[in-house]
Amino acid sequence: MLNLKNHNYEDKKYIGSRDLLSIILPYLGYIDNQDALNIASSFLKSKNMTILTIGIKCFIQNRHPDTLKFLNNFYKKFYKNNLVLQKWFEMMASLNPKNQSNLTVIKSLLKHKKFDYKNPNTIRSVLGTFQRENIQLFHANDGSGYDFISKQIIKIDKINPQVSSRLVLPLTLFTNYTFERRDKILKYLKIISNNNPSKDLNEIISKAIN
């Protein structure tokens, strides 16, 4: 059995273990493993950025009630560092708190003073992460996640077609899903297609649906 406790993960000799923890600790948090949550709690005190983010991501997966507080503390500490700020946006975009409904958090990020539609890195950190890691909300059965992202793609396409073309790619993988889900995704791809998309975006959608 893998022993995760009693290691000094600040020590460079545990770099490999940190890589492993970055994968398994969030999963253990998801199943409410108390040892994992205890380790994650100790990681919140770390000055090492990798260790600190591993700890927060464990609480994100656990949907722990204090997760937003941890993320707010992270923001207050690092908001002046643009590179680290992208990590905060990524973690926030993967958040699906129990006491919030639907897309409240992700929509609030689009109104954040540090979010900029003209900054491709910010868009990828928020909307790209949402599609990749916030599976439950992106693939919500009511189609709200597809509706949300399609509206964002239409908006961003007027600003930066290259970014919108990358952002639409997860929707073009609709053939990987059930027929019912395929129909939902196709519906929104066609909505994007009917909103005068750029040449780049239209080419990607056309190849996917034809």
DSSP conformation letters of 115-130: --TT-HHHHIIIIIHH
The pLDDT profile of the chain, 210 residues, written as one tens digit per residue, is: 344 555 555 555 445 567 788 888 888 888 988 988 998 999 999 888 989 999 999 999 999 999 999 999 999 999 999 999 999 999 999 999 876 667 999 999 999 999 999 999 999 999 999 999 999 999 999 999 999 999 999 999 999 999 999 999 999 999 999 999 999 999 999 999 999 999 999 999 999 988
112: tokens are 């954040």
Closest CA to 96 of 144, 48, 155: 144
Structure confidence at residue 14 (pLDDT): 47
> What pLDDT does residue 5 have?
53
User: Could you tell me the CATH superfamily of domain 70-209?
Assistant: Peptidase M1, alanyl aminopeptidase, C-terminal domain (1.25.50.10)
pLDDT of residue 141: 92
Amino acid, res. 3: N
Distance CA 198, CA 34 (A): 50
What's the pLDDT tens digit per position in 157-198?
999 999 999 999 999 999 999 999 999 999 999 999 999 999
Where are the chain's structural domains?
1-64, 70-209
SS3 content of the chain, % helix, strand, coil (to 5): 70, 0, 30
What's the rounded Cα separation, in Å, for the pair 67 and 98? 10
Q: What are the distances in angstroms from CA 156 to CA 63, 72, 90? A: 30, 27, 18
